[in-house]
Structures are given as structure tokens and as C-alpha cells.
Amino acid sequence: MDLPFAAQMLAIPSGFILGSYNAVFSQNVIPHLYNQPASVSTPIFAKVFNIGALTIAPMASTAIIAHAYLAYTQPSKRQYYTTAAILTALSLPLTSLVMKPGINRLIEISNSSELLAKPGIDAEAVKFLKAWVTQNYFRGSLHIVAGFLGLYAALT
């Protein structure tokens, strides 16, 4: 097996796996927490987020490196692999800069019995959960598009 082929086998599936992983939680998990009190929804969200970070960051890093390597070694397909690497890389600052304030607030709520007793906290938690779902769909779309770009480059 040659190195470019190995890089393709890491980069391309990673985009689809990451995008699907994001979509599953946005579609099948978190929306079911909207009708739950914050004392139930925020601890579950905190677990989902922390487990997700252990999966997404290493896989995204691997995909970025593999796409960058392919962009470097295959000049005729450089624009596709470079764009795929950039799209995958964008998910990391998106999480840190855009999503993290809401994530931190949900985790803060989950860890505080004082906040959980506060009137209106359930509505606040739902607001942040809904924002996270929307942002997470967008993050997942970055990965899916990166996967399709990598696949297109590999097949042409």
C-alpha cells in the first residue's frame, strides 16, 4: 500500500464519520432533551460533549494531516484536498470560539445545584441546547463536504 492511498483511506472516511457523528447527536439525541428539566438535560449534554471531544478532535486532526499531505503530494488535486483540510480544520475554532460559550454554560448549569434551582433555568437550557444543535449541524456539514471533496479528488 502506498502512502497517498493510506492517506486517502484516513482522510475520506473521516469526513463522513465526523459529519455523521455530529448529525446523529443533533438529530437523534439532543432534541429529545428539550422537554426534560435542566437537571436531566444538562448532565446528559455534558457527557455527550465530553465523549464527543475524545472522538472528534483526534479524528479531525488525522483528517487534516491526511488531506494536507494529499494536497502537498498531488498538485493536480491540490485545491480539493486543501479545501477539505481547511473545512475540517474550521470545525475546531468553530467549536472553541462560537460553540464553547453555550457549551460552557450548559456544563456550568449541570454542575450547580444553585443554578438548577433558579427559576427559568429550564428555558435557558433549552435555548442553549437548540443553539448547539444548529451549530452542530453546521459543524457536521463542514466535515461532510470535506469528505465529498476528498472522495471527488480521489475518483478523478
**CA–CA separation, 67 and 69 (whole Å):** 5
Instruction: Give percent helix, percent strand, percent coil of the chain, each to the nearest 5.
Output: 90, 0, 10
Supply the pTM of this predicted model: 0.91
pLDDT digits (tens, 9 = 90+) for 71-101: 999 999 999 999 999 999 999 999 999 999 9
First to last CA, the chain: 19
pLDDT digits (tens, 9 = 90+) for 32-78: 999 999 999 999 999 999 998 888 889 999 999 999 999 999 999 99
**CA–CA separation, 27 and 29 (whole Å):** 6
Q: 5: exposed, middle or buried (C-beta count within 10 Å: 0-12, 13-18, 19+)?
A: exposed
Average pLDDT score over residue span 13-18: 95
pLDDT tops 90 at residue 133: yes
Is there a contact between 90 and 98 (Cβ–Cβ < 8 Å)? no
